[in-house]
Amino acid sequence: MVRSTLEYGSIVWDPFQKQDIDKLERVQRKAIRFIKRDYHNREEGFITTKAKELDLQPLQHRRTSLRLIMLYKVVEGLLIFGPMFSGKTTELMRRMKRYQIANYKCLVIKYSKDDRYDKSGIATHDRQTLPALPADQLSDIALEAENYEVVGIDEGQFFPDVVQFADEMAEKGKIVIVAALDGTFQKKGFGDILNLVPLAESVIKLTAVCMNCNSEGSFTKRKGSETAIEVIGGADKYLAVCRLCFKSPIKEMSPRRAGSTPTVSNSKMEKTQANRQLFKLSSPIKNSC
């Protein structure tokens, strides 16, 4: 009980402000008085009984919960957007897993037509997966979402009611995280997703690596001649590119980045092999034991 009381004080209060140090000292004095005066006069099991009466959670659970609360206390609505291959789904999964570890009730929602890598969950381009509930419209699962504390939405740009749904969930005190493309292959806003910006407590804009010149890639470029906005695909249909490479026809892009097999010159290969030899032991290490 003493340790948990001091821990609450040390996490919630700023130790660099004198008024908060005074508060912490008062807690310490109360704890000392409790130990000297009350603790030894109580019957066996008093602490356990009192903790149950107060519905106190285990110390480890409080530690994890408090750290997350302090880290995300201003994030009731978080928008993660960027071009293709910028790590939006990866970041969404990372944040959802953190909440799951802290025993929050978490719901992940995926667009039902996006089954590129996994039909029963969301998936990154490198095949990391997380179970998710598929939906065409978020309003269809609004009642289900009421039962959860944290709601994550992947590919939010495809949901026509994402703005209304996300705002309603946040108003009800839920933590809402939306991962979405911010722009189309034409460098225009994707659906209504940008209308979430003024409604979110935090907005993260991710960038990819340009698949042609290796600079920062902030845009999505489509391969082929399809003109429809909603065309689901991965590297077979899209490239992440920078501003300059967005203007270049795909056929003029570097073959190494446009899809052909990468080649390495003999001199470069020999140099690489020579460098690797630096880490090769000249003779095996014998066990002296």
**Where are the alpha helices (H) located in the chain, listed in sequence order?**
2-12, 18-33, 46-53, 59-72, 88-101, 142-145, 162-171, 243-246, 255-258, 266-277
For residue 226, give Cα distances in angstroms to 19, 57, 233, 247.
64, 56, 12, 17
For the record, the structure tokens of 30 come out as: 């109360």
Instruction: Point out the catalytic residue in the list 53, 91, 144, 155.
Output: 155
Among 172, 175, 188, 130, smallest CA distance to 154 is for 130
155 is catalytic: yes
**SS3 label, residue 250:** helix
Residue 30 CA, chain-centre distance (Å), reads: 41
**SS3 label, residue 201:** coil
Task: Give the end-to-end CA distance of the chain in Å, rounded to a whole number.
Answer: 49
Q: Which residue has the tokens 């140090």?
A: 21
Mind telling me the catalytic residues? 155
